[in-house]
Amino acid sequence: MVGATGAVGTVTLALLRERGYENVRAFASARSAGKVLDDLTVEEATPEALSAGDLDVCLFSVGTSASRELVPHAVRGGAIAVDKSSAYRLQEGIPLVVPEVNGDRALEHHGIVANPNCCTIPLTMAIRPLRDAAGLARVRVSTYQSMSGAGAHRMEELRETAPEEAQLDMDWDFDGEDFDEESKLRAETRKILELSDLPISVTCVRVPVLIGHAEAVWVETDEHLSADDARHLLMDAPGVRLEVVPCLRDAVGSDEVLIGRVREDETVDNGLVLFVACDNLRKGAALNAIQIAELLLERRAVAV
C-alpha cells in the first residue's frame, strides 16, 4: 500500500486485514516513514524500494504527480500497479476499471490499472444495468461530496468548524466553465461504459459532511423503462443495495452502493431519476482497488 497514512490508505489497510491478507507492506512519504500502523512499520516510498522486485501488487493512493513519478518504478520491478490518482485514468491503453461494471478490462493491463474517481464508481454501477436493458441517451448528475474526498486535512478542518460556519464549497480547479472534477466524471464514465459520445452534464459540490458522497442522477434511456423495471434491474445489480431513501449515514462503512428514490422523470421521454449514496473512502476508493487486485491475482493463480 503506497500512501498508507492517508485517508484512503488507512481504510485500504483495514480492508486488507478484513479480507485476510497478511503479506502486506505499508509505504508513504519520508515524513511518515517509521510510523507504526497496526503492527506495520511504514517504509519510505522510494523508487529503489518499489522497483526492488519483491512486490506483487502495489495499491497507490497518492497525488497525481507522485503517481506519475513512482508507478513506473513499481512496474519496472515486476509489480502490477493499481493507481487511484487521475494520472493514468484517461491514458490510452490503460484500463479504467470498476469490477462490477467492466472487470474484464482489468485483465488487459500492461502493468497499470487505473482506479476511477470516487464519484465515477457509484455512478457507473447505477447506470450500467439501465444501459444494458434500454440504452443510454443522456445522463445528468449533481454530486454532493464529503470533505474526506479532499483529504484527511479537510476532515480535520470540518471537525474544527462551528456548525453555523459550515458551508457548501466548490474547491476543484476551474477552467472557466467546468471544474476538473466535473470533467473527470464525464470523461471517465464515457471510458468505462465505452460510450464516447454519451451526453453527460455534471455539477459537483463539496458539502460539510465527513465521509460519504451522494449523487442525484437523471437518466434518459433509448427505450422506455418504468420505475419498477429500473428497481428490479438495480435490485439484481452486483454491489448495489436498493433503498427507499438512501442516506449517507447508512452508506458509511458499507461495501455496497446504495440506490433509491427511483422514479420516472415526467419532464422528458424515457426519463428516470435516482439517488445514489456511497462510502467514498471504501467502495469509492479502497475497496474498488482491492477488488481490481483480486481479479488480477485470480488470473495469475489460474495461469500458474
Three-class SS of residue 240?
Answer: strand
Pairing relation of β-strands 27-28 and 136-145? unpaired
**Catalytic residue, candidates 58, 118, 204, 278:** 118
Is the C-alpha dihedral spanning 261, 118, 255, 291 positive or negative?
positive
Instruction: List the Cα angle 146/147/150 in 5-degree steps.
Output: 115
Query: Cβ atoms within 10 A of the Cβ of 44, count?
Result: 14
Closest CA to 265 of 233, 216, 227: 227
Pairing relation of β-strands 40-41 and 36-37? antiparallel
Is 118 labeled as catalytic in the residue annotation?
A: yes
Closest CA to 106 of 237, 244, 302, 299: 299
**Catalytic residue, candidates 58, 204, 213, 278:** 213
Is 153 labeled as catalytic in the residue annotation?
A: no
Active centre residues (catalytic): 118, 213
